Chain A
Amino acid sequence: MKSFLSRITFWKATAAVFLLGGLATTIVRFGWGLGASTNLSDMTPWGLWIGFDVVTGVGLAAGGFTLAGIVHIFHIKRFHPIVRPAILTAFLGYCLVIVGLMFDLGRPWAIWHALIYQNPHSVLFEVAMCVMTYTAVLALEFSPVVLERFHLHKLLKFVKAITVPLIILGILLSMLHQSSLGSLYLIVPQKMHPYWYSPMLPVLFFVSAVAVGLGMTIVESYLSARAFQKTLETPLLRDLTRIMIGVLLVYFTMRAIDLFHRNAFGFLLDGSFETMMLYLEVAFMLIIPLLLFNLREWGRSRQGLFFTAFSVVLGFITNRLNVTMTSLEGYYKTNFGVSYFPGIGELAVTISIVTVGFVIFALAVKYLPIFPHHEEETVLRFDGAPARTNESASMHATPAAELRRH
């Protein structure tokens, strides 16, 4: 009990430090501008806030459309208990991406201009439109949880009625902008390292987002299990991990073919910084997950699956940061003799945003019916499917009971 308490305070203290740093940077950012608060410059106009908060963040939130698709479109109902946590992560993720964008935009108050001055030739315009619409779709997809909690049955019925078209719309929008985040970089062929510049970028971005969406879902269900004793059955998680690894195998096959056709294999032994970063990406995203999953004990334990998925998440983050930052380093060096590394303030803001995400997720799991439970939910399930499947029967307390306990 004691060690549990000290762990809690340790994490709280760490979070507090990050949040204070983030707050300080926020004041500098909105008081004195981007120059004072970041390491960005005329030579390196995009940095961590675009690379992580936006490009990586949107990818990490891909679990929402992936699971909604698996369960509601492909009708693989076994995974039903995971849909809600996945949609919650996605919704939270997109909200935080928009927060991150507010920090990075030079004139954030003008963001609505994207609605009226449309440039259909701009990839960024398409991303902006999709992210905006999809966030609204996610809010609707998530709304049953809240409606259920507050017993607003009429509204719930309405949302239930439009569920399927909503989910299809969500998947289409996700396909569009997950891939377009890759397309953003198609316009700078001469600036990027050949490892990461590819005409295939949009496809690669989409496929890796599907994989990491599943990965994030596995990670968070494990963490929720530890924190709140709310969890999913191990075989279910194992199946999810298997799908993730399948997608990753497809992804890396495409990557390899792509590198081969563009003659980028030649660099693999040059020992450069870029090559090391590529190896890191492949190790985290492919090698370690494959090993862990196939180890007898690890691949069957909850913890083993968590580490498998966590490694994929790390690998994915490495990949997005490589595309957005590492791949441009060489260009910065040879052309301007500079290199970009995020400043303390940029890091503090990014970490703060992630911390806020964790906190809100934890609160939501605590007070809303996110993970399955025994409530009289028979008629109120998101899709109207029979509620008491085997998975949900194994679940724990109702939110009401939860509240009473605390």
Chain B
Amino acid sequence: MPHAILVDLTECVGCGACRDACQQVHHFPQEECTSLDAHNFTTLRKIETADGQEVFARQMCQHCQDPACASACLVGALEKTRDGAVTWDTDKCIGCRYCMVACPFDIPKYEWDTNNPKVRKCTMCYTERHLDADSKTDKEGYVLDRSGKRVSIDGRLVTAEDRDMIVEMTTNSDGKRATACSVACPIGATLYGERSELLAEAHRRIRSNPDSYVQKVYGQTEVGGTSVFYLSSMPFEQLGFSTKLDTEALPLRTWRVLEKLPDVILTAGVALGAVYWITNRREDVRKFEEEVKNQRSQKKS
């Protein structure tokens, strides 16, 4: 079942618990941040409205249904999982940064200051959510997955202590696994669950409370739909969300060209061969005629 995240910005009080939990569960330095970078997968931007209200705009990877980043990546390091998350594989990446160019939300970030840089973005706690509480460890104390391989998150091995923290941070009060940010949110402004259910919930909220919401679920139709939805009391463009995005998935634009290429190549190949054949024949004929002419003139003389 594809999962998703619903962020109700009208409920968010800007406490930053989601951001802190994200930094903690991923072993990032704990710091205030206003923009995403290689060690901040989610941020809160404070926006003051004209009438003095404060709104906090959360930002994170949208986990697009048909992600531009994944279609751009030449080695398939980015992947839309069945679970809904868009994940990234350290070992495959060659560092071309086409994913960063392609992402319509400018989400993937880069480690610019190292010689072995990684592309970084929110993974919807994919590996974290799939880490079993009772998973085994090997002799050196590293956690193994079900097939007996060492679990590594972003190139970092997981110790038993680590695992316990991660499992705790990604388990909801009802015992279901969820992203660390949604577990951490003290008032339920960030919810994690099945995509279709969350979408229905978002519309239910707008319908039952039309005065406190703008009539839009951000993320439902943007670039063909995403797996992170936002509700807001303020128009989204005022919150700095890109609102000019097409409803068509971006990868279709490149695919429409790519899918034609085999036909083009076949046709062009045959055409070139034909041109060669014809002009070559013409050349032969010309040579032959010349020869004949030469022979005749020789005979005459």
Q: Give residues in A with beta carbon < 8 Å to B.
A: 30-36, 40-43, 45-46, 69, 72-75, 77, 104-108, 110-111, 113-114, 117-126, 128, 164, 168, 171-172, 175-176, 179-180, 183-184, 186-191, 199, 202, 335
Decide: A33 and B115 in contact? CB cutoff 8 A. Answer: yes
A123 touches B110 (CB 8 A): no
Q: Are A117 and B77 in contact (CB under 8 A)?
A: yes
Any A CB within 8 A of the CB of B74: yes
Interface check B50, CB cutoff 8 A: no
A199 vs B246: C-alpha distance in the bound complex, in angstroms?
A: 15
The 3 A-B pairs at the shortest CB distance, nearest first, are namely A106-B95, A35-B112, A75-B279
- Check B276–A114 contact: CB distance below 8 A: no
Partner of B92, one of A108, A117, A175: A117
The answer to whether A175 and B268 touch across the interface, beta carbons within 8 angstroms, is: yes
Contact with A along B93-124 (1 / 0, CB 8 A): 11111101110101001111111110000000
Give complex CA distance A179, B258 in Å: 11
Tell me, rounded to whole Å, the shortest Cβ–Cβ distance linking B249 to chain A.
10
The residue in chain A whose Cβ has the minimal distance to the Cβ of B104 is A190
Known: A34-B117, A42-B38, A183-B257. 5 other contacts (CB 8 A): A73-B279, A119-B71, A126-B258, A172-B268, A202-B257
When the two chains form their complex, are residues B117 and A114 in contact, meaning their CB atoms are under 8 A apart?
Answer: no
Within 8 A of A (CB), among B244-294: 244-246, 250-251, 253-255, 257-258, 261, 264-265, 268-269, 272-273, 275-276, 279-280, 282-283
Judge whether B251 and A121 touch: CB under 8 Å.
Answer: yes
**Is B269 a contact partner of A168 (Cβ separation < 8 A)?**
yes
Closest B residue to A111 using CB positions = B94
What are 22 of the A-B contact pairs (CB < 8 Å)?
Answer: A32-B115, A33-B111, A42-B36, A42-B110, A77-B283, A105-B96, A106-B94, A106-B95, A106-B110, A107-B117, A108-B95, A111-B94, A118-B76, A119-B74, A119-B76, A176-B265, A179-B257, A183-B254, A183-B257, A187-B254, A189-B250, A190-B245
Knowing A73-B272, A172-B268, the reply to whether A45 touches B257 (Cβ < 8 A) is: no
Bound complex: CA A191 to CA B100 (Å): 12
Complex contact A45–B265 (CB within 8 A): no
What chain A residues lie within 8 Å of B145 (beta carbons)? none
Determine if B33 is an interface residue (Cβ-Cβ < 8 Å): no
Tell me whether B178 is interfacial, beta carbon within 8 Å.
no
B269 contacts A107, C-beta separation under 8 Å: no
Asked if B72 is at the interface (CB within 8 A of a chain A CB), the reply is yes
| Interchain CB contact (< 8 A) of B97 among A30, A69, A106, A187 | A106
- Which residues of A lie under 8 Å from residue B264 when comparing CB positions? 175
Do A172 and B272 touch (CB < 8 A)? yes
B116 adjacent to A183 (CB under 8 Å): no
CB distance from B80 to the nearest CB of A (A): 11
Output the least CB separation between A201 and chain B (Å). 9
Q: Is B228 an interface residue (CB 8 A)?
A: no
- Complex alpha-carbon distance, A187 and B101, angstroms: 9
Give which listed residue, A30, A40, A74, A123, contacts B275 with CB less than 8 A.
Answer: A74
Bound Cα distance A94, B257 (Å): 24
Is the pair B94, A34 in contact by a Cβ cutoff of 8 Å? no
B242 is an interface residue with CB less than 8 A from chain A: yes
Q: B155 to chain A: closest CB distance in Å?
A: 12
Q: A35-B112, A73-B276, A187-B250 are in contact. Are A110 and B74 (CB under 8 A)?
A: no
Q: Please, how many angstroms separate the alpha-carbon atoms of A136 and B238 in the complex? A: 53
Q: Is the pair A46, B94 in contact by a Cβ cutoff of 8 Å?
A: no
B194 interface residue per 8 A CB criterion: no
Does A183 contact B258, Cβ atoms closer than 8 Å?
yes
Indicate if the CB atoms of A187 and B276 lie closer than 8 Å. Answer: no
Q: Is the beta-carbon distance between B261 and A176 smaller than 8 angstroms? A: yes
Q: Is the CB of B265 within 8 A of A175?
A: yes
Inter-chain contact B273/A75, CB cutoff 8 Å: no
State whether A45 touches B101 (Cβ < 8 A).
yes
Q: Is B114's CB under 8 angstroms from A123's CB?
A: no
* Structural contact, A107 and B95, CB atoms closer than 8 A: yes
Closest to A179 in B: B257
How long is the Cα–Cα vector from A270 to B44 in the complex, in angstroms?
A: 37
> CA separation between A30 and B95, bound complex, in Å?
14
Asked if B113 and A36 sit within 8 Å, CB to CB, the answer is: yes
C-alpha spacing A400/B280, complex, angstroms: 34
B73, B258, B272: which contacts A168 (Cβ < 8 A)? Answer: B272
Report whether B72 and A172 are in contact in the complex, using a CB–CB cutoff of 8 Å.
Answer: no
User: Of all chain B residues, which has the CB nearest A37?
Assistant: B112
Contact B113 A124 (CB under 8 A): no
CA distance A111 to B75 in the complex (A): 9
**Any A CB within 8 A of the CB of B68:** yes
Q: Which residues of A contact B279 (CB under 8 A)?
A: 73-75
> Which residues B23-44 have CB closer than 8 A to chain A?
36-38
- CA–CA, A299 and B221, complex, Å: 57
- A121-B255, A187-B251 are contacts. A114–B75 as well, Cβ < 8 Å? yes
- Contact of B272 with A69 in the complex, beta carbons under 8 Å: yes
Roughly how many angstroms separate A178 CA and B109 CA in the complex, as a whole number?
A: 28
Query: Which A residues are in CB contact (< 8 Å) with B255?
Result: 121
A110 to chain B, nearest CB (A): 4
Query: Given A73-B272, A74-B275, A168-B272, does the pair A107, B112 have CB atoms closer than 8 Å?
Result: no
Are A171 and B272 neighbours in the complex by a CB distance under 8 Å? yes
State whether A75 touches B280 (Cβ < 8 A). Answer: yes
- Say whether B109 contacts A42, CB under 8 Å: yes
B253 contacts A189, C-beta separation under 8 Å: yes
Asked whether B37 lies within 8 Å of A42 as measured between CB atoms, the reply is yes
Contact B93 A110 (CB under 8 A): yes
Closest approach, in angstroms, between the C-beta of B68 and any C-beta of chain A? 5
**Pick from A113, A119, A128, A172: contact of B265, CB under 8 Å:** A172
Interface residues of B in 196-249 (CB under 8 A from A): 242, 244-246
A134 to chain B, nearest CB (A): 13
- Given A31-B115, A175-B268, A187-B71, A113–B92 Cβ distance below 8 Å? yes
Q: Are B110 and A172 in contact (CB under 8 A)?
A: no
Contact A187 B102 (CB under 8 A): yes
Q: What chain B residues lie within 8 Å of A111 (beta carbons)?
A: 94
Task: Name the B residues within 8 Å of A69 (CB-CB).
Answer: 272
The reply to whether A45 and B71 form a contact with Cβ atoms under 8 Å apart is no
Q: How far is the CA of A391 from the CA of B106 in the complex (A)?
A: 56
Find A186's partner among B98, B112, B245, B253 (CB 8 Å cutoff): B253
Cβ B75 vs Cβ A75 within 8 A: no
Contacts of A191 in B (CB 8 A): 104
B78 to A, closest residue via Cβ: A119
